[in-house]
Protein backbone atom coordinates (compact mmCIF):
# COMPACT_ATOMS: atom_id res chain seq x y z
CA UNK A 1 0.00 0.00 0.00
CA UNK A 2 1.20 3.52 -0.77
CA UNK A 3 1.31 6.37 1.71
CA UNK A 4 0.55 9.98 0.80
CA UNK A 5 2.04 12.55 3.17
CA UNK A 6 -0.29 15.34 2.21
CA UNK A 7 0.59 19.04 2.38
CA UNK A 8 3.34 20.38 4.58
CA UNK A 9 6.65 22.05 3.98
CA UNK A 10 9.33 19.76 2.58
CA UNK A 11 12.96 20.61 3.24
CA UNK A 12 14.35 18.46 0.47
CA UNK A 13 18.05 18.70 1.27
CA UNK A 14 18.68 18.31 -2.49
CA UNK A 15 21.57 20.02 -4.33
CA UNK A 16 19.67 23.26 -4.84
CA UNK A 17 18.39 23.28 -1.26
CA UNK A 18 14.75 23.43 -2.37
CA UNK A 19 12.13 24.07 0.27
CA UNK A 20 8.67 23.18 -1.05
CA UNK A 21 5.57 24.56 0.61
CA UNK A 22 2.13 22.91 0.47
CA UNK A 23 3.61 19.85 -1.16
CA UNK A 24 2.77 16.17 -0.90
CA UNK A 25 5.01 13.18 -0.85
CA UNK A 26 3.92 9.84 -2.29
CA UNK A 27 5.65 6.82 -0.78
CA UNK A 28 5.41 3.52 -2.59
CA UNK A 29 6.90 0.47 -0.92
CA UNK A 30 10.09 1.81 0.61
CA UNK A 31 10.78 4.64 -1.83
CA UNK A 32 9.72 8.20 -2.58
CA UNK A 33 7.66 7.84 -5.73
CA UNK A 34 6.51 11.40 -6.29
CA UNK A 35 6.74 14.93 -4.91
CA UNK A 36 3.79 17.05 -6.04
CA UNK A 37 1.97 20.27 -5.12
CA UNK A 38 -0.73 19.45 -2.59
CA UNK A 39 -3.62 20.37 -4.90
CA UNK A 40 -2.31 17.91 -7.49
CA UNK A 41 -2.00 14.97 -5.08
CA UNK A 42 -3.82 11.80 -6.06
CA UNK A 43 -7.05 10.93 -4.29
CA UNK A 44 -6.58 7.25 -5.02
CA UNK A 45 -8.49 5.23 -2.41
CA UNK A 46 -5.73 2.68 -2.14
CA UNK A 47 -3.49 5.19 -0.43
CA UNK A 48 -3.02 5.82 3.29
CA UNK A 49 -3.33 9.57 3.77
CA UNK A 50 -1.20 11.30 6.40
CA UNK A 51 -2.22 14.94 6.75
CA UNK A 52 0.91 17.04 7.14
CA UNK A 53 -0.51 20.51 6.70
CA UNK A 54 1.40 22.85 9.05
CA UNK A 55 4.16 20.29 9.54
CA UNK A 56 7.76 20.27 8.25
CA UNK A 57 9.13 17.19 6.49
CA UNK A 58 12.89 16.65 6.55
CA UNK A 59 15.26 13.81 5.65
CA UNK A 60 15.80 11.57 8.69
CA UNK A 61 18.98 12.35 10.66
CA UNK A 62 22.02 10.12 10.11
CA UNK A 63 24.32 9.52 13.09
CA UNK A 64 27.67 8.07 12.13
CA UNK A 65 28.96 7.09 15.57
CA UNK A 66 26.80 5.42 18.23
CA UNK A 67 27.30 2.60 20.79
CA UNK A 68 23.90 1.02 21.45
CA UNK A 69 25.64 -1.49 23.74
CA UNK A 70 26.30 1.34 26.23
CA UNK A 71 22.82 2.85 26.59
CA UNK A 72 22.23 1.22 29.98
CA UNK A 73 25.41 2.81 31.37
CA UNK A 74 24.13 6.37 31.09
CA UNK A 75 24.80 8.30 34.28
CA UNK A 76 27.15 5.62 35.60
CA UNK A 77 30.37 7.00 34.13
CA UNK A 78 30.45 10.77 34.51
CA UNK A 79 33.41 13.11 35.07
CA UNK A 80 36.22 10.90 33.80
CA UNK A 81 38.74 11.23 30.96
CA UNK A 82 38.64 8.63 28.17
CA UNK A 83 41.15 6.05 29.41
CA UNK A 84 39.90 6.08 33.04
CA UNK A 85 36.31 6.08 31.74
CA UNK A 86 37.07 2.92 29.77
CA UNK A 87 39.14 1.25 32.51
CA UNK A 88 36.93 1.95 35.49
CA UNK A 89 33.48 1.93 33.99
CA UNK A 90 32.81 1.10 30.35
CA UNK A 91 35.01 -1.96 29.72
CA UNK A 92 33.95 -3.73 32.96
CA UNK A 93 30.27 -3.01 32.26
CA UNK A 94 30.54 -4.15 28.64
CA UNK A 95 32.21 -7.33 29.87
CA UNK A 96 29.26 -7.94 32.22
CA UNK A 97 26.64 -7.90 29.44
CA UNK A 98 24.60 -10.99 28.64
CA UNK A 99 22.15 -11.50 25.76
CA UNK A 100 19.19 -9.82 27.42
CA UNK A 101 21.03 -6.82 28.82
CA UNK A 102 22.54 -6.25 25.39
CA UNK A 103 19.16 -6.52 23.67
CA UNK A 104 17.45 -4.03 25.99
CA UNK A 105 20.44 -1.67 25.93
CA UNK A 106 20.10 -1.55 22.15
CA UNK A 107 16.33 -1.28 22.20
CA UNK A 108 16.30 1.59 24.71
CA UNK A 109 18.88 3.43 22.62
CA UNK A 110 16.92 2.91 19.42
CA UNK A 111 13.73 4.22 21.05
CA UNK A 112 15.56 7.40 21.99
CA UNK A 113 17.09 7.77 18.53
CA UNK A 114 13.77 7.32 16.76
CA UNK A 115 11.82 9.77 18.88
CA UNK A 116 14.48 12.40 18.25
CA UNK A 117 14.29 11.93 14.49
CA UNK A 118 17.34 9.76 13.73
CA UNK A 119 16.66 7.14 11.05
CA UNK A 120 20.14 5.75 10.34
CA UNK A 121 23.15 5.01 12.54
CA UNK A 122 26.63 3.60 12.30
CA UNK A 123 26.92 1.53 15.48
CA UNK A 124 29.94 0.03 17.20
CA UNK A 125 29.03 -2.87 19.49
CA UNK A 126 31.05 -4.67 22.12
CA UNK A 127 32.98 -7.90 21.60
CA UNK A 128 30.03 -10.15 22.51
CA UNK A 129 26.32 -10.49 21.70
CA UNK A 130 26.31 -8.45 18.49
CA UNK A 131 23.35 -10.55 17.31
CA UNK A 132 21.23 -9.03 20.09
CA UNK A 133 21.92 -5.52 18.79
CA UNK A 134 21.04 -6.70 15.29
CA UNK A 135 17.84 -8.30 16.61
CA UNK A 136 16.76 -5.02 18.24
CA UNK A 137 17.54 -3.08 15.04
CA UNK A 138 15.72 -5.56 12.82
CA UNK A 139 12.59 -5.52 15.03
CA UNK A 140 12.38 -1.78 15.55
CA UNK A 141 12.92 -0.82 11.91
CA UNK A 142 16.00 1.41 12.31
CA UNK A 143 18.47 1.62 9.42
CA UNK A 144 21.98 0.77 10.58
CA UNK A 145 25.50 -0.23 9.86
CA UNK A 146 26.45 -2.61 12.66
CA UNK A 147 29.83 -3.93 13.74
CA UNK A 148 31.05 -5.82 16.77
CA UNK A 149 33.99 -4.10 18.45
CA UNK A 150 37.21 -5.92 17.62
CA UNK A 151 39.80 -6.04 20.43
CA UNK A 152 42.72 -8.45 20.66
CA UNK A 153 44.95 -6.30 22.91
CA UNK A 154 43.78 -4.61 26.09
CA UNK A 155 46.29 -3.19 28.55
CA UNK A 156 43.58 -0.93 29.94
CA UNK A 157 41.23 -3.75 31.04
CA UNK A 158 42.54 -7.21 30.12
CA UNK A 159 39.13 -8.78 30.85
CA UNK A 160 37.71 -7.48 27.58
CA UNK A 161 39.51 -8.86 24.54
CA UNK A 162 39.65 -12.01 22.44
CA UNK A 163 42.26 -13.88 20.40
CA UNK A 164 42.97 -12.25 17.00
CA UNK A 165 41.67 -15.15 14.97
CA UNK A 166 38.45 -15.41 17.01
CA UNK A 167 37.73 -11.72 16.53
CA UNK A 168 38.29 -11.99 12.78
CA UNK A 169 36.33 -15.22 12.50
CA UNK A 170 33.27 -13.94 14.35
CA UNK A 171 33.40 -10.64 12.43
CA UNK A 172 33.43 -12.51 9.13
CA UNK A 173 30.55 -14.72 10.24
CA UNK A 174 28.48 -11.67 11.27
CA UNK A 175 29.25 -9.89 8.01
CA UNK A 176 28.27 -12.95 5.98
CA UNK A 177 25.03 -13.34 7.91
CA UNK A 178 23.88 -9.73 8.19
CA UNK A 179 25.45 -7.44 5.56
CA UNK A 180 22.70 -6.19 3.22
CA UNK A 181 19.83 -7.91 5.02
CA UNK A 182 16.31 -6.72 5.90
CA UNK A 183 15.76 -5.11 2.51
CA UNK A 184 19.33 -3.68 2.74
CA UNK A 185 18.35 -1.83 5.91
CA UNK A 186 21.08 -3.58 7.90
CA UNK A 187 24.67 -3.45 6.68
CA UNK A 188 27.98 -4.37 8.25
CA UNK A 189 30.97 -2.22 9.24
CA UNK A 190 34.12 -3.90 10.53
CA UNK A 191 34.95 -2.11 13.77
CA UNK A 192 38.39 -2.47 15.36
CA UNK A 193 37.87 -0.35 18.48
CA UNK A 194 41.00 1.82 18.37
CA UNK A 195 44.74 1.44 17.87
CA UNK A 196 45.31 0.75 21.58
CA UNK A 197 43.02 -2.30 21.59
CA UNK A 198 44.14 -3.87 18.31
CA UNK A 199 47.18 -5.63 16.93
CA UNK A 200 48.41 -4.51 13.51
CA UNK A 201 47.26 -7.85 12.09
CA UNK A 202 43.74 -7.40 13.43
CA UNK A 203 43.49 -3.90 11.99
CA UNK A 204 44.87 -4.91 8.58
CA UNK A 205 42.83 -8.08 8.22
CA UNK A 206 39.67 -6.29 9.33
CA UNK A 207 40.16 -3.63 6.66
CA UNK A 208 40.99 -6.32 4.11
CA UNK A 209 37.54 -7.82 4.74
CA UNK A 210 35.85 -4.68 3.40
CA UNK A 211 37.29 -5.54 -0.04
CA UNK A 212 35.17 -8.69 -0.15
CA UNK A 213 31.75 -7.15 0.55
CA UNK A 214 30.29 -4.35 -1.58
CA UNK A 215 29.31 -1.36 0.54
CA UNK A 216 30.98 -2.54 3.75
CA UNK A 217 32.66 0.09 5.91
CA UNK A 218 35.68 0.35 8.19
CA UNK A 219 34.85 2.09 11.47
CA UNK A 220 37.20 2.98 14.32
CA UNK A 221 38.02 5.67 16.89
CA UNK A 222 41.00 7.91 16.21
CA UNK A 223 42.88 10.77 17.87
CA UNK A 224 40.31 11.43 20.55
CA UNK A 225 42.41 11.95 23.65
CA UNK A 226 45.95 13.15 24.44
CA UNK A 227 46.83 10.14 26.63
CA UNK A 228 45.67 7.85 23.82
CA UNK A 229 47.79 9.86 21.37
CA UNK A 230 50.93 9.69 23.55
CA UNK A 231 50.55 5.92 23.95
CA UNK A 232 50.10 5.43 20.21
CA UNK A 233 53.15 7.60 19.56
CA UNK A 234 55.26 5.51 21.96
CA UNK A 235 54.10 2.22 20.46
CA UNK A 236 53.99 3.12 16.77
CA UNK A 237 56.56 5.91 16.50
CA UNK A 238 54.08 8.09 14.69
CA UNK A 239 50.77 9.85 15.23
CA UNK A 240 47.48 8.00 15.21
CA UNK A 241 46.09 8.83 11.76
CA UNK A 242 49.58 8.54 10.25
CA UNK A 243 49.70 5.04 11.69
CA UNK A 244 46.29 4.07 10.30
CA UNK A 245 47.49 5.34 6.91
CA UNK A 246 50.77 3.42 7.28
CA UNK A 247 48.73 0.23 7.77
CA UNK A 248 46.70 1.05 4.64
CA UNK A 249 43.37 1.49 6.44
CA UNK A 250 42.22 4.83 5.08
CA UNK A 251 39.92 5.30 2.11
CA UNK A 252 36.43 6.56 1.34
CA UNK A 253 35.21 3.36 3.06
CA UNK A 254 36.73 4.50 6.37
CA UNK A 255 34.75 6.38 8.99
CA UNK A 256 36.83 7.65 11.91
CA UNK A 257 35.17 8.88 15.08
CA UNK A 258 36.55 12.08 16.69
CA UNK A 259 39.83 13.13 14.98
CA UNK A 260 40.34 15.97 17.45
CA UNK A 261 44.12 16.02 17.71
CA UNK A 262 45.60 16.01 14.20
CA UNK A 263 48.87 17.30 12.83
CA UNK A 264 48.99 19.02 9.42
CA UNK A 265 50.25 15.88 7.69
CA UNK A 266 47.30 13.90 9.10
CA UNK A 267 44.79 16.44 7.83
CA UNK A 268 46.35 16.09 4.38
CA UNK A 269 46.24 12.29 4.65
CA UNK A 270 42.53 12.35 5.55
CA UNK A 271 41.88 14.65 2.59
CA UNK A 272 43.92 12.60 0.12
CA UNK A 273 42.40 9.27 1.17
CA UNK A 274 38.83 10.72 1.20
CA UNK A 275 38.34 9.34 4.72
CA UNK A 276 35.20 10.38 6.61
CA UNK A 277 35.13 11.92 10.06
CA UNK A 278 32.36 11.45 12.58
CA UNK A 279 32.30 14.50 14.83
CA UNK A 280 30.91 13.89 18.34
CA UNK A 281 30.90 17.29 20.06
CA UNK A 282 29.02 16.40 23.28
CA UNK A 283 31.18 13.36 23.93
CA UNK A 284 34.37 15.32 23.19
CA UNK A 285 33.44 17.99 25.73
CA UNK A 286 32.09 15.66 28.40
CA UNK A 287 35.19 13.45 28.45
CA UNK A 288 37.31 16.61 28.35
CA UNK A 289 38.93 15.33 25.16
CA UNK A 290 39.08 18.57 23.21
CA UNK A 291 37.42 20.40 20.34
CA UNK A 292 37.88 19.20 16.78
CA UNK A 293 38.72 21.96 14.33
CA UNK A 294 35.82 21.17 12.02
CA UNK A 295 35.92 24.31 9.82
CA UNK A 296 39.58 23.56 9.00
CA UNK A 297 38.68 19.98 8.00
CA UNK A 298 35.71 21.15 5.95
CA UNK A 299 37.90 23.62 4.07
CA UNK A 300 39.84 20.56 2.91
CA UNK A 301 36.59 19.03 1.64
CA UNK A 302 36.72 16.22 4.18
CA UNK A 303 33.24 14.80 4.77
CA UNK A 304 32.13 15.65 8.30
CA UNK A 305 29.10 13.97 9.82
CA UNK A 306 27.73 13.82 13.37
CA UNK A 307 27.25 11.23 16.10
CA UNK A 308 26.11 11.24 19.72
CA UNK A 309 28.65 8.48 20.59
CA UNK A 310 27.53 6.34 23.57
CA UNK A 311 24.91 7.35 26.14
CA UNK A 312 27.45 7.36 29.03
CA UNK A 313 29.65 10.05 27.44
CA UNK A 314 26.94 12.42 26.26
CA UNK A 315 24.39 11.63 28.04
CA UNK A 316 21.82 11.83 25.23
CA UNK A 317 21.42 10.34 21.78
CA UNK A 318 19.63 13.44 20.54
CA UNK A 319 20.70 14.88 17.17
CA UNK A 320 19.14 18.28 17.94
CA UNK A 321 21.58 18.72 20.84
CA UNK A 322 24.53 17.61 18.68
CA UNK A 323 23.60 19.98 15.86
CA UNK A 324 23.26 22.99 18.12
CA UNK A 325 26.51 22.24 19.95
CA UNK A 326 28.43 21.50 16.73
CA UNK A 327 27.59 25.00 15.57
CA UNK A 328 28.04 26.98 18.81
CA UNK A 329 31.30 25.26 19.67
CA UNK A 330 33.13 26.68 16.66
CA UNK A 331 31.90 30.25 16.79
CA UNK A 332 34.27 31.58 19.48
CA UNK A 333 37.23 30.31 17.43
CA UNK A 334 36.07 30.98 13.88
CA UNK A 335 33.59 33.84 14.25
CA UNK A 336 29.80 33.92 14.46
CA UNK A 337 29.32 33.13 10.76
CA UNK A 338 31.07 29.76 11.09
CA UNK A 339 28.94 26.60 10.97
CA UNK A 340 25.64 28.25 10.08
CA UNK A 341 22.38 26.36 10.52
CA UNK A 342 22.10 25.14 6.90
CA UNK A 343 25.66 23.78 6.99
CA UNK A 344 24.88 21.93 10.21
CA UNK A 345 21.60 20.57 8.83
CA UNK A 346 23.48 19.16 5.82
CA UNK A 347 26.10 17.62 8.13
CA UNK A 348 23.28 15.91 10.07
CA UNK A 349 21.59 14.51 6.96
CA UNK A 350 23.27 14.25 3.54
CA UNK A 351 26.84 14.27 4.91
CA UNK A 352 25.97 11.34 7.14
CA UNK A 353 24.62 9.53 4.10
CA UNK A 354 27.82 10.35 2.19
CA UNK A 355 30.03 9.07 4.99
CA UNK A 356 28.17 5.77 4.82
CA UNK A 357 28.33 5.56 1.02
CA UNK A 358 24.51 5.87 0.91
CA UNK A 359 24.09 9.34 -0.60
CA UNK A 360 22.25 7.97 -3.63
CA UNK A 361 19.75 6.20 -1.34
CA UNK A 362 19.11 8.41 1.71
CA UNK A 363 20.01 11.80 3.22
CA UNK A 364 17.66 13.98 1.16
CA UNK A 365 14.04 13.92 -0.01
CA UNK A 366 14.15 13.20 -3.74
CA UNK A 367 12.14 10.97 -6.07
CA UNK A 368 13.64 7.49 -6.17
CA UNK A 369 15.37 7.71 -2.81
CA UNK A 370 14.42 5.53 0.13
CA UNK A 371 11.67 6.93 2.33
CA UNK A 372 13.58 7.81 5.52
CA UNK A 373 11.71 10.84 6.75
CA UNK A 374 11.27 12.84 9.93
CA UNK A 375 8.20 15.03 10.33
CA UNK A 376 8.46 18.02 12.65
CA UNK A 377 5.86 20.18 14.26
CA UNK A 378 7.56 23.54 14.65
CA UNK A 379 4.51 25.41 15.84
CA UNK A 380 5.74 25.39 19.44
CA UNK A 381 6.21 28.43 21.59
CA UNK A 382 10.01 28.41 21.22
CA UNK A 383 9.96 28.63 17.44
CA UNK A 384 9.92 31.77 15.30
CA UNK A 385 6.55 33.24 14.52
CA UNK A 386 7.34 34.72 11.13
CA UNK A 387 7.27 33.06 7.74
CA UNK A 388 10.39 35.11 7.01
CA UNK A 389 12.54 33.40 9.61
CA UNK A 390 15.17 30.86 8.65
CA UNK A 391 13.70 27.38 8.96
CA UNK A 392 17.14 25.76 9.32
CA UNK A 393 17.83 28.06 12.26
CA UNK A 394 14.56 26.99 13.80
CA UNK A 395 15.47 23.30 13.47
CA UNK A 396 19.14 23.54 14.51
CA UNK A 397 18.99 26.14 17.28
CA UNK A 398 15.44 26.08 18.65
CA UNK A 399 14.07 22.57 18.24
CA UNK A 400 14.25 19.41 20.31
CA UNK A 401 12.76 15.89 20.22
CA UNK A 402 9.52 17.52 21.45
CA UNK A 403 9.11 18.83 17.92
CA UNK A 404 9.28 15.38 16.32
CA UNK A 405 5.79 14.32 15.30
CA UNK A 406 6.44 11.23 13.16
CA UNK A 407 9.28 9.17 11.73
CA UNK A 408 9.32 6.83 8.74
CA UNK A 409 12.17 4.47 7.86
CA UNK A 410 12.31 2.47 4.64
CA UNK A 411 8.71 3.47 3.87
CA UNK A 412 7.36 2.23 7.22
CA UNK A 413 6.14 4.28 10.17
CA UNK A 414 8.25 3.65 13.25
CA UNK A 415 6.83 6.64 15.15
CA UNK A 416 3.50 8.16 14.18
CA UNK A 417 1.95 11.22 15.80
CA UNK A 418 4.12 10.78 18.88
CA UNK A 419 3.44 7.05 19.30
CA UNK A 420 5.96 4.29 18.70
CA UNK A 421 4.83 1.80 16.06
CA UNK A 422 7.47 -0.90 16.64
CA UNK A 423 8.46 -0.42 20.29
CA UNK A 424 6.55 -0.93 23.52
CA UNK A 425 7.99 2.03 25.43
CA UNK A 426 6.89 1.04 28.95
CA UNK A 427 8.03 -2.53 28.53
CA UNK A 428 11.40 -1.35 27.16
CA UNK A 429 11.97 1.00 30.11
CA UNK A 430 11.05 -1.60 32.71
CA UNK A 431 13.07 -4.43 31.08
CA UNK A 432 16.06 -2.13 30.55
CA UNK A 433 16.05 -1.19 34.26
CA UNK A 434 15.72 -4.83 35.28
CA UNK A 435 18.59 -5.91 33.02
CA UNK A 436 20.81 -3.07 34.22
CA UNK A 437 20.25 -4.11 37.84
CA UNK A 438 21.26 -7.69 37.02
CA UNK A 439 24.27 -6.51 35.03
CA UNK A 440 25.50 -4.42 37.96
CA UNK A 441 25.07 -7.45 40.22
CA UNK A 442 27.30 -9.44 37.85
CA UNK A 443 30.08 -6.84 38.00
ZN1 LIG B 1 32.77 5.86 20.49
How many other CB atoms are found less than 10 A from the CB of residue 261?
20
Would the pLDDT of 44 be above 80? no
Would the pLDDT of 121 be above 90? yes
For residues 182 and 318, state if they share a domain.
yes
CA–centroid distance, residue 249 to ligand 1 (Å): 18
pLDDT digits (tens, 9 = 90+) for 188-225: 999 999 999 999 999 999 999 999 999 999 999 999 99
For residues 198 and 132, state if they share a domain.
yes
209/219 Cα distance (integer angstroms): 12
288-300 average pLDDT score: 98
CA–centroid distance, residue 419 to ligand 1 (Å): 29
CA–centroid distance, residue 45 to ligand 1 (Å): 47
81-110 average pLDDT score: 97
Which of 116, 173, 161, 121 has its CA nearest to residue 405?
116
Let me know: does 396 contact 24? Beta carbons within 8 Å.
no
Residue 335 CB partners (closer than 8 Å, separation 6+): none
Torsion, Cα of 256, 210, 124, 323 (10° steps): 40
Q: How confident is the model at residue 43 (pLDDT cuts 50, 70, 90)?
A: low
Torsion, Cα of 115, 375, 402, 338 (10° steps): 100
Torsion, Cα of 146, 151, 152, 157 (10° steps): -150
Over the chain, what is the mean pLDDT? 97
For residues 325 and 411, state if they share a domain.
no
For residues 399 and 345, state if they share a domain.
no
CA–centroid distance, residue 102 to ligand 1 (Å): 17
CA–centroid distance, residue 307 to ligand 1 (Å): 9
pLDDT confidence of residue 389:
84
115/57 Cα distance (integer angstroms): 15
For residues 248 and 382, state if they share a domain.
no
CA–centroid distance, residue 371 to ligand 1 (Å): 28
> Which of 315, 332, 355 lies at the terminal end of a domain, its last residue?
355
Q: How many domains does the chain have?
A: 2
CA–centroid distance, residue 66 to ligand 1 (Å): 6
Residue range(s) defining the domain that contains residue 230: 61-355
Tell me how far CA of residue 214 lies from CA of 178, 217, 283, 367, in angstroms. 13, 9, 31, 24
CA–centroid distance, residue 134 to ligand 1 (Å): 18
For residues 34 and 116, state if they share a domain.
no
What CATH number does residue 383 fall under?
2.30.40.10
Provide the sign of the torsion angle of the four alpha carbons 139, 396, 147, 274, taken in this order.
positive
CA–centroid distance, residue 324 to ligand 1 (Å): 20
What is the CA angle 363-367-371, rounded to 5? 50
Would the pLDDT of 144 be above 70? yes
Q: How confident is the model at residue 176 (pLDDT cuts 50, 70, 90)?
A: very high
pLDDT confidence of residue 42:
67
For residues 269 and 389, state if they share a domain.
no
The share of the chain scoring above pLDDT 90, in percent, equals: 95
pLDDT digits (tens, 9 = 90+) for 386-435: 777 899 999 999 999 999 999 999 999 999 999 999 999 999 999 999 99
Let me know: does 297 contact 267? Beta carbons within 8 Å.
yes
CA–centroid distance, residue 258 to ligand 1 (Å): 8
Look at residue 53 and tell me if it is in a domain. yes
Strands (E), 47-151: 47-51, 56-59, 61-67, 118-123, 143-146, 149-150
Look at residue 231 and tell me if it is in a domain. yes
Would the pLDDT of 31 be above 70? yes
278-303 average pLDDT score: 98
CA–centroid distance, residue 228 to ligand 1 (Å): 13
Look at residue 361 and tell me if it is in a domain. no
Amino acid sequence: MSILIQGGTIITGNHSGDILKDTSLLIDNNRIKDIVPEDKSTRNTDVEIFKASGLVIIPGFVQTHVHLCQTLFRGLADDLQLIDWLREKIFPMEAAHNELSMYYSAKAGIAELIRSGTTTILDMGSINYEEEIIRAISETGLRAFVGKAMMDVNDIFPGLKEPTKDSLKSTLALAESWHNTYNDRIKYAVAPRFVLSCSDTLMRDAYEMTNDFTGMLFHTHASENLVELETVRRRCKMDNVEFLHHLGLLSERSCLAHCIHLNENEVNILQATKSNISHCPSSNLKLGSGIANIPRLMQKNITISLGADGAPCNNNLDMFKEMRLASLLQKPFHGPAAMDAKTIFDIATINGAKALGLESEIGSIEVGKKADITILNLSHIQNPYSEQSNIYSSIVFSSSPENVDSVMIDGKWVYRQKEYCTIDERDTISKASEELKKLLDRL
